[in-house]
Amino acid sequence: MEDWVSVGYLLSAALFIFGLKKLGHPRTAPFGNQLGALGMLVAVITTILSMQLAGGAEWVLIGAGLVIGSLIGYWLAVRVEMTGMPELVAMFNGFGGAASALVALSEIWKYLENAEEIPVGLELTVTMVAAGLSALVGWMTLTGSMLAMYKLKGGISVFGKWIKTPTWGPSWLNPVKIILMLTVGVLIYLSICEPTNTDYMWGIIGISCALGIILVLPIGGADMPVVVSLLNSLSGIAAAFTGFIIGNSVLIIAGSLVGASGLILTFIMCKAMNRTLLDVLFKSFGGSGEKVSLTRTKIGSDADEVAMMIDGAQKIIIVPGYGMAVSQCQHQVKEFADLITEKFGTEVKYAIHPVAGRMPGHMNVLLAEASVPYEQLIEMDDINSEFPDCDVAVVIGANDTTNPAARSGEGPLAGMPIIDADMARTVVIIKRSLSVGYAGVDNELFYMDKTMMLFGDGKAMMSQLNSAIKEI
């Protein structure tokens, strides 16, 4: 490798490091993202330039690949609804893992078709081990991420028929996962002994794809974001292993950076939900599929009644959830907050559960879009102590994150920290029905005497509520 190429890669690695560092702080995050993108640009330009100087780059082929990929990626990124963001991140992640695995496969293929080029000794061992691990992690990331994407969506539409994504994980599946991983190890060893035998390679690919599926299949409920974060970490590791095969430093550095920081982020997210990574991976949680059939009923209230009650309130805490994201009613929510602040002088705050919506920070993004001041968004740990002094908690499309059943220490929600909305003097819940949430657990909060249910779509109900308040 030419010296200047190494310098180019070094510069790009440095930009990635700064970028990741800045991404972790609210003020500098946009700049950090731009630094990361710049680092990628430097790496790509360095590579193409070095190929051009080394005997000519295949501009047509490379250009076509770059342009097609960029257009698809950009198109997906700008047209995604804010509610669909988590799924999109999962999908991109799968593509990244697949790309690493494909590069590894492409390298191996060269050797297979030109037997005289098969490396010997150390190089053979390194190539085969790295290719095997890259395939394991890369294909696992692809299938795992795709399944995670459909699990976040909740299902898949096949010929107009909605099929719910299953969650299934008997405990005997755990040893199977470990056996499969060990099998990959054995196959890698065999492929070193007999590099021309393609069966081993296909075996590794097949097992890795299956592993991705059975790793994600048992995981449900609020744990999904953690899995996506873990898969993100894995796709970084896949890139690093691919770097070993082609002997490229920037792949190794950037890949392992993402792998390590992604893992830390995964731990941080686990901590926010009071769970450990091992629990997430090996203890089936939530969304068991067998939803409790509802026998209890609750009489709904109407907007006028709720408006009257809000009139007398001094302090209101709004608890948004996935339902707000689905109905896109963040602007109506903001209007509601402005109205009651102006008209009744009510103090308004928002309680943000770390995993409200389908991904951490989901609610912040949506409310920020509606120009809700950042200072009013209070994280769960800081706001929970305020609920006993709160006159009305307005729960908009949140369910599991407010379910008092989580405190009981039993059932799928056990141990998950929740927003203490049930401590407020009155609770208003805007929700389509009494049905169970993502975790499939009945919510006691709905049936409390102090709870008023406004049944309906978030947007419609918030608009009704706003006009009712205007009329007071």
User: At closest approach, how far in Å is the CB of 77 from other proteins?
Assistant: 4
User: At closest approach, how far in Å is the CB of 361 from other proteins?
Assistant: 4
Q: Which two tokens stand for residue 76?
A: 């997906």
User: At closest approach, how far in Å is the CB of 391 from other proteins?
Assistant: 24
DSSP class of residue 385?
G
**Which C-beta is closer to other proteins: that of 383 or that of 453?**
383
**Which C-beta is closer to other proteins: that of 375 or that of 449?**
375
User: At closest approach, how far in Å is the CB of 291 from other proteins?
Assistant: 28
**Which C-beta is closer to other proteins: that of 203 or that of 456?**
203
Contacts of 240 (CB under 8 A, 6+ apart): 251, 252, 254, 255, 256, 259
* CA 429 and chain centroid, separation: 26
User: At closest approach, how far in Å is the CB of 417 from other proteins?
Assistant: 12
Partnered with residue 454 across adjacent β-strands are 430
Number of residues written out for the chain: 472
End-to-end CA distance of the chain: 75
**Which C-beta is closer to other proteins: that of 69 or that of 388?**
69
Query: What CA–CA distance (Å, rounded) separates 43 from 14?
Result: 11
Q: How many CB atoms lie within 10 A of CB 360?
A: 21
Answer whether 184's CB lies under 8 Å from 207's CB.
yes
User: At closest approach, how far in Å is the CB of 336 from other proteins?
Assistant: 17
**Which C-beta is closer to other proteins: that of 263 or that of 418?**
263
User: At closest approach, how far in Å is the CB of 239 from other proteins?
Assistant: 5
Q: Closest by alpha carbon to 221, among 41, 358, 52, 38?
A: 358
Residue at 104: amino acid letter: A
Residue at 470: amino acid letter: K
Which candidate in 400, 420, 422, 442 is catalytic? 400
Q: Which two tokens stand for residue 403?
A: 């379910």
Q: Which residues of 137-161 are buried (b: 16+ CB within 10 A; e: fewer)?
A: bbbbbbbbbbbbbbbbeeeeeeeee
Contacts of 413 (CB under 8 A, 6+ apart): 221, 286, 400, 403, 405, 406, 439, 441
Answer whether 356's CB lies under 8 Å from 324's CB.
no
Residue 400 among the catalytic residues = yes
**Which C-beta is closer to other proteins: that of 332 or that of 464?**
332
Instruction: With H, G, I as helix, E, B as strand and everything else as coil, classify residue 157.
Output: strand
- Residues with active-site annotation: 400
